């Protein structure tokens, strides 16, 4: 989102005639329209939720950024990116505020901040529907990790990465969950893995319009995911104008979609978000047997959302402007 200070914060990378009326509020309306169009069971934010460098009140920015998810009464979860902590609130402070917000399922860390690197490493279990055989067990496991911000090792430039302590936590959690049932999983974090660079136009779906801004070292987390065997897809943010999905060694590596209007984008290329659809298999008696399919190919651009409700219109001193224009 790169949310900053609402109406006072201008958009980036829109057409020249749109700058005068485009702001963080366009991001707000985009989320509202996505929620109304898709009616999701869970909303996930994959980091850079606020752009700390452009806000003097990070708490107010966080409240505004997540406001549409909170007001929808739909459960939501978030991880941190590399820009969230760049104002007056520390990285830990940002995550603590998120954890305290309404309707969030976000967690700080399972064993405290001194045991696992980062802030916001946690998992959620999605149980089967009421009345099914899987009512009291998970049919889908969700993993959320803090991929860091920037390297703290002088000899290693660039972005952060998922550290050994986090990988150990993931391994232990995955083994524990798989002992209960062989349930597939999804993973969410901000900075893409180096393996995202393995694809070209012949082996991915979607659009690649910029380089892969991963860490300059490979921490081995992709290998850890492959060894665990349960994660079927990974969703990241960070690179705003990439929205592709590619499969590598049985794992789909996907971008979640860039939808913040104060974030860099591409004029004329609509902001977008990814929709993940999980299907359940039914028995002959109508009860749900278990998870059948995960479809992560759905990308919803701003120009494909419904245009028939009032939050679409921004009213300023000048005439109306439709959100789809920027």
Q: Can you tell me the mean pLDDT for 142-146?
A: 98
DSSP structure class, residue 113: T
Q: Can you tell me the mean pLDDT for 184-209?
A: 95
- Provide the pLDDT for residue 283: 61
Q: 76 burial class (0-12, 13-18, 19+ CB within 10 angstroms)?
A: buried
- Provide the pLDDT for residue 129: 79
Q: Can you tell me the mean pLDDT for 178-192?
A: 94
Look at residue 145 and tell me whether its pLDDT is greater than 60: yes
**pLDDT bucket at 282, cuts 50 / 70 / 90:** low
Q: Can you tell me the mean pLDDT for 108-112?
A: 83
Please give the domain boundaries of the chain with CATH numbers for all domains. 6-325 (3.60.21)
Look at residue 311 and tell me whether its pLDDT is greater than 80: no
Q: Can you tell me the mean pLDDT for 55-67?
A: 97
Q: What is the mean pLDDT of the chain?
A: 89
The pTM (predicted TM-score) of the whole model is: 0.90
- Provide the pLDDT for residue 275: 94
Look at residue 319 and tell me whether its pLDDT is greater than 50: no
pLDDT, tens digit, for every residue of 211-225? 999 999 999 999 999
């Amino acid at each position: 989102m790169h949310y900053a200070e609402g109406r006072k914060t201008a958009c980036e990378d829109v057409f020249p005639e749109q700058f005068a009326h485009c702001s963080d509020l366009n991001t707000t309306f985009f989320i509202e329209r996505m929620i109304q169009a898709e009616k999701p069971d869970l909303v996930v934010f994959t980091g850079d939720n606020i752009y700390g460098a452009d806000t003097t009140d990070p708490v107010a920015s966080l409240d505004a950024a997540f406001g549409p998810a909170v007001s929808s009464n739909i459960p939501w979860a978030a991880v941190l990116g590399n820009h969230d902590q760049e104002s007056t609130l520390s990285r830990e402070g940002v995550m603590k505020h998120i954890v305290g917000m309404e309707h969030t399922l976000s967690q700080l860390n399972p064993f405290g901040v001194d045991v696992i690197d980062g802030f916001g490493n946690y998992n959620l279990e999605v149980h089967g529907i009421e009345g099914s055989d899987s009512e009291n067990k998970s049919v889908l496991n969700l993993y959320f990790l803090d991929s860091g911000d920037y390297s703290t090792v002088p000899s290693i430039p660039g972005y952060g990465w998922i550290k050994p302590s986090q990988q150990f936590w993931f391994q232990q959690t995955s083994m524990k969950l798989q002992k209960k049932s062989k349930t597939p999983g999804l993973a969410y974090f901000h900075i893409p893995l180096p393996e995202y660079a393995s694809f070209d136009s012949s082996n991915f779906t979607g659009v690649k319009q910029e380089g892969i801004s991963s860490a300059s070292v490979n921490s081995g987390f992709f290998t850890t995911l492959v060894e665990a065997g349960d994660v079927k897809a990974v969703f990241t943010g960070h690179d705003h104008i990439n929205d592709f999905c590619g499969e590598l060694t049985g794992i789909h590596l996907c971008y979640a979609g860039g939808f913040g209007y104060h974030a860099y984008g591409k004029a004329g290329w609509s902001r977008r978000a990814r929709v993940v659809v999980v299907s359940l298999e039914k028995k002959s008696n109508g009860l749900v047997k278990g998870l059948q399919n995960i479809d992560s190919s759905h990308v919803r651009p701003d120009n494909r959302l419904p245009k028939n409700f009032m939050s679409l219109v921004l009213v300023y001193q000048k005439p109306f402007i439709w959100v789809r224009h920027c």
